[in-house]
Structure 1
Amino acid sequence: MAAGDLITRDGQLEWRGELLGAGTAYGWRALEGWLDLPQMRGGDVDRPGQHGAFPGQLLAQSRTVTYSFVISARRATRAQYAAAVARLRAITTPSENPDEEPLVIRLDGRRWQALARCTRRSMPTGLEYDVGYVAGALQWVATDPRLLELPGFTASTMLGATDSGGLGFPVRFPMPFGAAARGGVITWTNTGTAEAWPVWRIAGPVRGPSITRRDTGQALEFDPDWFIPTGQVVEVDTLARTVLFVGSNVSASDRLFTRGWFSFPPGRETQAVFASAAPSSDSRLSVTVHSTAM
């Protein structure tokens, strides 16, 4: 089961295979940091001897998400109340060296995921706890502030083929010139609010592959003499800036000659073109990408 598959309605969270929020033992009180813009860090440089500053790069910092909840024995038996408390403690206890894990929340009919670590659990144990009531909070920190919509978009294409060009006789107008391309294009619209960074997979056999964003001309171009054999797949992660053979994690970054890293901008259709230095009928380009929000 994939992350987020347990969620069935708005106002629910999924963490480590447990549902929180609407319709669960962990009633929703408040959610902070999910729709908020994370804190920003700026690179502005003061203008010497003048008012103001030179604008520098503006980047988002880590995202902190706080979920306030209620566990109440009024809606369950005392045994169920104790079990709910124990379960929440179990799923929020860190391992010795915790990795970031999927935190998925559904709002307004859409599921969004952040990779995060649970950094705080507040469960007061005063008189209210003794009578079966806890008003507490959980907090997560996601080092990547982007929210990725689930499910992601996947698609693939073969290398583009061209029809034969030239003129036919008798000549008729308008006259066709050049060749018409078929295939080799992946088209997608990012319905989020932030740039979406794809993961590409190039399956051999192919020589000198390239991936180009059609509207800007930005391109990822490999050595035209480099050959990916049949059965080999190279993964290009545009956010991590890595180029690896799938299955072995051997880097092929030195073969990427042109590093025009590109994303899918929000709110409009974008096309990516798959080409190569030599024709191949069996090579395939695949993509996995998520609509992204900030």
Structure 2
Amino acid sequence: MTTLTKQPRIELAPWQFEIGGIVLGNGTHIPIGNIEGLGSPATRPQDVDNPTGDGTFPGQDFYGIRTLRFEAGIKTPGDPAMAADLLARLELALDDPGARTRPEGRHVLRGRWPGHRTRRMYGRLRRAEATSTTTAINGWIPLDVEFVGTDPRWYDDEPSHLTLGLDQATKYKSPDRTVDQALCAPAGCDPADPLDRPGWITNYGNVSTWPSIRVHGPIANPRIWNTVTGRVLELGLSLRAGEWVEMETRPGSCWVLRNGKVNVANDLTPRSRLDLFAIPRGRSEIGWSGDDPTGTARLEASWRSAYTAL
């Protein structure tokens, strides 16, 4: 996912938010008075009117955008030049072409609620307006800041990672072959040792999340599955040593690139749905297979636990 220009990660304290390297909230020069939009995101109901009578036929309710509006202000008593500089930095974050003019472009809003670790949201910074300049000479500029979350979920700021070699994956069976090894040990057996199941992954959030997956060659016909959801990704191609394929599964930004350049989405089999290859909440397991006589191929996956709230 394309984001604003990369910057060093800033540690946030509770009640602080950050976008484009600018920190707002408690203990900063941009205190926040109120935040709107931290509840449920807007819905996109798919209801259909009853053509022969009153009422409608209910359809699926999808989430739309999540609009967060910050009533804030730049507060630098006796230093109007510093206030103007902070306002200019906010305007620069809004103006970034990489996030503003490209369809895949996204800003990243980071925030921290008391008792939680820092989480992030992907979307667009749509407004950073000084609502008054009458007190600017004293270093006080009231602000109206609006961030639109095009993905309404919150995600862990720190990603999780998994690296899995084919030699580690041989003990797992695909979900559509004979009997899969169960995630839970049978009654009367000793519990499975986590070290013996290197494909275990954990989504600590309360909703499903979307992984990024990279397969490194040499390998032919790689096949990846999740033992809990039963979803499968299959690629009918061969990779030499030093080559890789990267798959992004997030709906709205799904793609498959070879060596970071060549689109090989057509090499996916019909049953391979990137937009459905989600990691469920809690613990699940990734397995994979392929043809590699050298035993050096590897799979890398990264994901961020997903939440409905900050």
- The one of 247, 254, 264 equivalent to 1:241 is 254
- The one of 6, 29, 33 equivalent to 1:29 is 33
**In the alignment, is the contact (CA less than 8 A) between 1:158 and 1:184 conserved in 2?**
no
Aligned partner of 2:106 in structure 1 is 100
1:254 aligns with 2:266: yes
Q: Does the C-alpha gap of structure 1 residues 152 and 48 become closer, same or farther in structure 2, counting only changes over 3 Å?
A: same
- The one of 272, 284, 292 equivalent to 1:270 is 284
Q: In the aligned structure 1, how far is the partner of 2:279 from the partner of 2:158? A: 16
Q: In the aligned structure 2, how far is the partner of 1:151 from the partner of 1:112? A: 8
**In the alignment, is the contact (CA less than 8 A) between 2:79 and 2:138 conserved in 1?**
no
Aligned partner of 2:18 in structure 1 is 14
How far does the alpha carbon of each residue in 1:218-276 deviate from its partner, in whole angstroms, 9 at most, with x for none? 211223xx3221111001111233221133x212222211314320122x211111112
1:139 aligns with 2:146: yes
**In the alignment, is the contact (CA less than 8 A) between 1:195 and 1:265 conserved in 2?**
yes
Q: In the aligned structure 2, how far is the partner of 1:83 from the partner of 1:241? A: 38
Residue type at the aligned position of 2:272: R
How far does the alpha carbon of each residue in 1:75-108 deviate from its partner, in whole angstroms, 9 at most, with x for none? x544444444444444444548364222211223
Q: In the aligned structure 1, how far is the partner of 2:248 from the partner of 2:81? A: 48
TM superposition score normalised by structure 2: 0.76
Q: In the aligned structure 2, how far is the partner of 1:286 from the partner of 1:231? A: 14
Matches within 5 A, 1:57-76: 57-74=60-77
**In the alignment, is the contact (CA less than 8 A) between 2:13 and 2:112 conserved in 1?**
yes
Aligned partner of 2:202 in structure 1 is 189
**In the alignment, is the contact (CA less than 8 A) between 1:3 and 1:104 conserved in 2?**
no
Residue type at the aligned position of 1:220: L
**Shift in Å, 1:2:** 6.0
Aligned partner of 2:183 in structure 1 is none
**In the alignment, is the contact (CA less than 8 A) between 1:235 and 1:244 conserved in 2?**
yes
Residue type at the aligned position of 1:256: L
Q: In the aligned structure 1, how far is the partner of 2:35 from the partner of 2:25? A: 10
Q: Does the C-alpha gap of structure 1 residues 127 and 147 become closer, same or farther in structure 2, counting only changes over 3 Å?
A: same
After superposition, the CA RMSD in angstroms is 2.9
Q: In the aligned structure 1, how far is the partner of 2:87 from the partner of 2:231? A: 52
Q: In the aligned structure 1, how far is the partner of 2:296 from the partner of 2:244? A: 12
Residue type at the aligned position of 1:241: C
Corresponding residue SS for 1:194: coil
How far does the alpha carbon of each residue in 1:52-84 deviate from its partner, in whole angstroms, 9 at most, with x for none? 54442322112222122122344x544444444
Q: Percent of pairs identical after alignment?
A: 26
**Shift in Å, 1:140:** 1.8
Moved more, 137-146 or 230-239: 137-146
TM superposition score normalised by structure 1: 0.80
Aligned partner of 1:161 in structure 2 is 170
Going by fraction, where is strand more abundant, 1 or 2?
A: 1
Q: In the aligned structure 1, how far is the partner of 2:171 from the partner of 2:208? A: 32
In structure 1, list runs of 5 or more residues that go unmatched: 164-181
Q: Does the C-alpha gap of structure 1 residues 191 and 51 become closer, same or farther in structure 2, counting only changes over 3 Å?
A: farther
How far does the alpha carbon of each residue in 1:151-202 deviate from its partner, in whole angstroms, 9 at most, with x for none? 0111110012359xxxxxxxxxxxxxxxxxx978522221223220111111
Corresponding residue SS for 1:254: helix
Q: Does the C-alpha gap of structure 1 residues 67 and 184 become closer, same or farther in structure 2, counting only changes over 3 Å?
A: same
Corresponding residue SS for 1:144: coil
Q: In the aligned structure 2, how far is the partner of 1:62 from the partner of 1:210? A: 34
**In the alignment, is the contact (CA less than 8 A) between 1:146 and 1:293 conserved in 2?**
yes
Q: In the aligned structure 2, how far is the partner of 1:43 from the partner of 1:219? A: 29
Max Rg structure: 1
Q: In the aligned structure 2, how far is the partner of 1:145 from the partner of 1:31? A: 16
**Shift in Å, 1:123:** 1.5
Q: In the aligned structure 1, how far is the partner of 2:292 from the partner of 2:235? A: 12
Aligned partner of 2:47 in structure 1 is 44
How far does the alpha carbon of each residue in 1:18-70 deviate from its partner, in whole angstroms, 9 at most, with x for none? 2222221101212222x322111021224454665444232211222212212
Q: Does the C-alpha gap of structure 1 residues 250 and 82 become closer, same or farther in structure 2, counting only changes over 3 Å?
A: closer
- The one of 257, 282, 286 equivalent to 2:300 is 286
Q: In the aligned structure 2, how far is the partner of 1:144 from the partner of 1:87? A: 25
**In the alignment, is the contact (CA less than 8 A) between 2:106 and 2:123 conserved in 1?**
yes
